[in-house]
Amino acid sequence: MKEFIINRNDAGQRLDRFAGKAAPLLPEALLQKYIRLKRIKVNGRGGKREQRLCAGDTVQMYINDEFFERPTEENAWRRVSVPKIRVVYEDANILLADKPAGVLCHAGEDGEWNTLLSNIQAYLYNKGEWDPALENSFSPALCNRIDRNTRGLVIAAKTAEALRVLDEKIRLREIDKYYLAAVHGRMEPAAGELTGFLFKDAVKNRVYVRQKPEPGARMAVTRYKTLQYKDGFSLLECELLTGRTHQIRAQLAAAGHPLVGDGKYGTDKPAKELGIPGQALCSWKLRFSFKTGAGGLSYLRGMEFTIGTPEFVEKIFGK
């Protein structure tokens, strides 16, 4: 139990608003439940959520200590009362999730806690498959990441061995990642490779493509093929041969064919006219193409997973 004396700066707040700030890791639904159950009291009596606090009031909160900690990347999962994830595949070692556009993979600099990782960890905790109190150091982790505004497949490791093996396989390029992208114009040639050196400006959060090596620039290779062309737009399948920040977006824009809806590297006006809410890019297929030993994950060799047709494909090219 923790007890707080309301001072003049806290006075005037609703009880549920104050309790949410005092216990930042307490999920909203659980907070409201604890108020109803009188586990959050004002001056020794059960309070109402809309009750306004006065200077000198005493608030007693009969909840576990961990909910009073500050949110961090490691404990943000506690803030998730009802995990929201789209599970594409799951077994004892890994989980493949279809991340919606607009959701961060990891916590950002703004401290946002409602990420794909926190939802996966809360999901596994609720299932009884992971309990940090029983672990010395391991937490379920993401093996790859995609941009906030990109939908698509993300791999999560549920065990330390799975994380070690998959990190190695990604480094060795033994996991093939394919994207669907809608771009302006007709690609010439219809299939090929985009190569260059990507330089990231961290201040502007923007990547620039260079054709020659320079300090801070990293080699990037994207293989593509045209699947369809309609009304001035091309649908591409892009395979990442390297995994750099904004790689597909920057390289396609540098080639003169920016993504539909990509305001950073092109324009989002046509996308708005088509009713597409963001950039037309989706990580839609993964293949475990293991060429070397994979230990306890050998059963994944040759397995391939895809997600449904992205909305932007249907809106631009039809069903």
Confidence at 110, pLDDT banded by 50, 70, 90? low
- Whether 43 and 57 have beta carbons less than 8 Å apart is answered as yes
Confidence at 27, pLDDT banded by 50, 70, 90? confident
What per-residue confidence (pLDDT) applies to 223? 97
Helix intervals (H) in the chain? 15-22, 28-36, 116-127, 160-171, 247-254, 269-274, 311-317
What per-residue confidence (pLDDT) applies to 135? 84
pTM (2 d.p.): 0.83
What per-residue confidence (pLDDT) applies to 109? 60
Interior/surface letters 22-46, b for 16+ CB within 10 angstroms, e for the rest: bbbbbbeebbbebbeeebbbbeeee
What per-residue confidence (pLDDT) applies to 162? 96
* 21 class by beta-carbon count within 10 Å (0-12 exposed, 13-18 middle, 19+ buried): exposed
**Which residue ranges form the domains of the chain, and what is each CATH number?**
2-68 (3.10.290.10), 76-171 (3.30.2350.10), 175-317 (3.30.2350.10)
At 248-285, the pLDDT tens digits run: 999 999 999 999 999 889 887 877 788 888 899 999 99
Confidence at 193, pLDDT banded by 50, 70, 90? very high
Residue of 84, 94, 97, 90 whose CA lies nearest to 307: 97
At 203-250, the pLDDT tens digits run: 888 899 998 988 889 999 999 999 999 999 999 999 999 988 899 999
- Residue 140 has a CB neighbour count (10 Å cut-off) of 24
Q: How far apart are CA 257 and CA 184, in angstroms?
A: 5
Confidence at 318, pLDDT banded by 50, 70, 90? confident
Q: What's the number of CA atoms in the CB half-sphere (13 Å) around residue 84? A: 9
